[in-house]
């Protein structure tokens, strides 16, 4: 039995959602939808498990913040490589093969981390993790939307992005708690990850393929292009995504070290919880804010990001743990509001046969933002110190979020008032 069965015998009347490349919407069931959402969350969870563990790795292997941020950047490079190489493959061969491949890359990453010794092995594990995330960014987002039952269809884009960002938040939360209160802190989190990945693989095997695969279709490397009819929406959404992911990159990469070395709080659980707050606030906002109009969400989201960055800067200057926590929540709200509505607008505007392709391009923009600032901050920390580099780079990200706000307001006014100049 497959999770996609149980349909009426009568062939359904075609709708606007049915086309030559996708199965009818009635093929989607709650079980298939839930299995895909679960797979998305678990795979993304695995990508952030190492975040609160880097303090332990650095103590055992003798590396500092610079190496930590380089490892983080290598992960982002793996994501971008997967988006470019595999970006449109799920449009050609179907969603299931790519979902299975991404889950297997996640399994391989967990195994590498369980057996990890030197730094180069950590880097291999992060590359594999990045490949899994890059595949899921496009293929899983499209699959969640396509497999959503009719009653869930309006909420499917928000659920897809919530599974993505929520999974990223659960990773440091789980790893931090296990590292603080359970044995084998560098092994148990990844063993738990492997256990969670088993039902993921079973679920992928059982779901019905939502795409009608074209016989003889050829695989090709993803071009980073956007159809002309989507570009206006894409630019507005990508500006906000770049700012939001830059915030996530700088916060995730150095916050555990700041908590430990500057605030003097030597707790892996606290580090994991604070980082998780950013992601989980984003995920919750994506669900709660799904009723907002795209234009309002992009403008308000960027404005909230600016406020959140100011709070984080104050927290760094005042060495305030409370400000750090508040800043994490506020930044998460701003990122979640702008990113989810931007993605929903991009997906809705994209031609069906290029949906995964355009989504992958959108995520390339986001992961460029999450990788470059954090590597730069790591290098700066080696010369200026953790606090100074954090303040400087948070000011830069705040300026970027402000620029995104200004450009988004201009773009929205032009789109809603064609005669405005």
- pLDDT at residue 11 tops 60: no
On whether the CB atoms of residues 26 and 8 are closer than 8 A, the answer is yes
Structure tokens at 223: 């071009």
- If you search the block for the tokens 């297997």, which residue do you land on? 104
Residue 417: its pLDDT value, please? 60
Which tops the pLDDT comparison, 128 or 208? 128
181 in helix, strand or coil? helix
12 in helix, strand or coil? coil
- pTM of this structure: 0.81
Lowest mean pLDDT among 14-18, 50-54, 72-76: 14-18
- pLDDT at residue 27 tops 50: no
Which tops the pLDDT comparison, 73 or 51? 51
Instruction: Give the torsion sign (CA, 157, 158, 163, 166).
Output: positive
On whether the CB atoms of residues 133 and 153 are closer than 8 A, the answer is no
- C-alpha to C-alpha distance for 41 and 382, rounded to whole angstroms: 34
Residue 204: its pLDDT value, please? 94
Lowest mean pLDDT among 11-20, 41-50, 226-235, 265-274: 11-20
Lowest mean pLDDT among 121-135, 241-255, 317-331: 241-255
What the chain holds in terms of domains, given with CATH numbers, is 25-210+226-416 (1.20.1250.20)
């Amino acid at each position: 039995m497959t999770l996609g069965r149980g349909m009426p015998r009568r062939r359904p009347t075609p709708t606007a959602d049915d086309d030559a490349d996708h199965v009818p919407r009635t093929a989607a069931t709650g079980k298939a939808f839930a299995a895909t959402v679960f797979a998305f969350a678990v795979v993304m969870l695995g990508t952030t498990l190492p975040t609160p563990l880097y303090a332990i790795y650095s103590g055992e292997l003798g590396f500092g913040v610079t190496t930590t941020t380089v490892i983080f950047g290598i992960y982002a490079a793996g994501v971008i490589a997967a988006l470019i190489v595999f970006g449109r493959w799920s449009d050609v061969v179907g969603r299931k093969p790519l979902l299975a491949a991404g889950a297997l890359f996640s399994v391989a990453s967990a195994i590498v981390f369980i057996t990890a010794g030197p730094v180069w092995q950590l880097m291999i594990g992060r590359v594999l993790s990045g490949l899994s995330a890059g595949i899921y960014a496009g293929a899983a987002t499209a699959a969640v939307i396509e497999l959503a039952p009719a009653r869930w269809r309006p909420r499917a884009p928000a659920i897809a992005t919530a599974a993505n960002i929520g999974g990223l938040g659960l990773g440091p939360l789980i790893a931090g708690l296990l590292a603080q209160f359970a044995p084998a802190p560098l092994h148990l989190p990844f063993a738990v990850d492997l256990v969670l990945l088993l039902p993921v693989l079973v679920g992928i095997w059982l779901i019905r393929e939502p795409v009608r695969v074209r016989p003889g279709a050829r695989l090709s490397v993803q071009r980073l292009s956007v159809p002309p009819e989507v570009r206006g929406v894409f630019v507005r959404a990508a500006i906000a995504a770049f700012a939001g992911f830059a915030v996530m990159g700088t916060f995730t990469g150095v916050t555990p070290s700041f908590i430990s070395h500057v605030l003097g709080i030597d707790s892996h659980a606290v580090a994991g919880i604070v980082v998780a707050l950013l992601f989980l606030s984003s995920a919750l906002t994506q669900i709660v804010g799904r009723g907002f109009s795209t234009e309002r969400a992009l403008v308000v989201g960027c404005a909230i990001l600016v406020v959140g960055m100011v709070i984080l800067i104050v927290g760094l200057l005042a060495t305030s743990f409370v400000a750090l926590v508040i800043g994490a929540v506020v930044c998460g709200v701003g990122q979640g509001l702008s990113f989810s509505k931007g993605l929903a607008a991009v997906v809705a505007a994209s031609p069906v046969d290029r949906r995964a392709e355009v989504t992958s391009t959108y995520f390339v923009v986001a992961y460029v933002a999450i990788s470059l600032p954090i590597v730069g901050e790591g290098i700066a920390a080696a010369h200026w110190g953790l606090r100074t580099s954090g303040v400087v780079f948070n000011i830069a990200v705040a300026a970027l979020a402000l620029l995104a706000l200004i450009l988004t307001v201009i773009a929205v006014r032009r789109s809603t008032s064609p005669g405005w100049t």
